[in-house]
Amino acid sequence: MNDFHYRDGELWCEETPIARIAKEVGTPFYLYSDRTLKHHFRVFDEAFKDVPHIVCFAAKANSNIAILKIFINEGGGVDIVSGGELYRAMQAGVNPEKVVYSGVGKKVDEIEYALEAGILLFNVESSQELRVINECAKKLGKVAGIALRVNPDVDPGTHPHISTGLKKNKFGIDIQRSLEEYREARKLEHIDIKGVSCHIGSQVTKVSPFVDALDRLKELINFLRKDGLEIRYLDLGGGLGITYDQETAPHPSEYAKAMMDASKNMECTFIFEPGRVIAGNAGILVTEVLYTKSNEEKNFVVVDAGMNDLIRPSLYNSYHKIQRVTGEGGDEIVADVVGPICESGDYLAKGRKISRFERGDLMAVMSAGAYGFTMSSNYNSRGRIPEVLVSDDRFHVIRKRETYADLIRGETIPDYLKRTASKQV
Ligand SMILES: *Cc1c(COP(=O)(O)O)cnc(C)c1O
Examine residue 422 and state whether it is found in any structural domain, yes or no. no
Residues 52 and 177 in one domain: yes
- Residue 415 falls within a domain, yes or no? no
- Same domain for 70 and 121, yes or no, is yes
Query: Which pLDDT value is given to residue 336?
Result: 97
Select from 54, 151, 198, 199 the residue to mutate for testing ligand 1; criterion: most ligand atoms less than 8 Å from CB. Answer: 199
pTM comes to 0.96
Of 232, 261, 279, which residue constitutes the final position of a domain? Answer: 279
Q: 16 pairs with which residues across the strands?
A: 13
Q: Are residues 392 and 331 in the same domain?
A: yes
- Whether residue 289 sits in one domain with residue 149: no
Q: Is residue 112 assigned to a domain?
A: yes
Position 177 in a domain? yes
* 3-state secondary structure (DSSP) of residue 13: strand
Kindly list the distances between the CA atom of residue 248 and the CA atoms of 5, 156, 205, 302, in Å, as whole numbers in the listed order: 21, 15, 7, 30
Residues 389, 294 share a domain: yes
Ligand 1 neighbourhood includes 61 CB (under 6 angstroms)? yes
Quick one: residue 317, left, alpha or beta (phi over 0 = left, psi -120 to 50 = alpha)?
A: left
Atom of ligand 1 nearest to the CA of 123: 13
Asked whether residue 413 is domain-assigned, the answer is no
Answer yes or no: is 292 within a domain: yes
Q: Could you confirm whether 342 is annotated as catalytic?
A: yes
Give the residue numbers spanning the domain of 340.
4-31+280-407
Q: Max alpha carbon distance in the chain (Å)?
A: 81
What is the structure's pLDDT at 419? 80
pLDDT of residue 73: 98
> Is 291 within the bounds of a domain?
yes
Domain identity same for 349 and 312: yes
- For residues 233 and 370, state if they share a domain: no
Closest CA to 270 of 55, 53, 77: 53
Shared-domain flag, residues 114 and 167: yes
Q: Which atom of ligand 1 sits closest to the CA of residue 240?
A: 9
Ranges of the chain whose pLDDT falls below 50:
none
**So what's the pLDDT on residue 57?**
98
Pair 308, 334 in one domain = yes
pLDDT at 211: 95
- In tens, the pLDDT along 388-409 reads 999 999 999 999 999 999 999 9
Q: Into how many domains does the chain fold? A: 2
Check whether residue 109 and residue 209 sit in a common domain: yes
In a domain, 424, yes or no: no
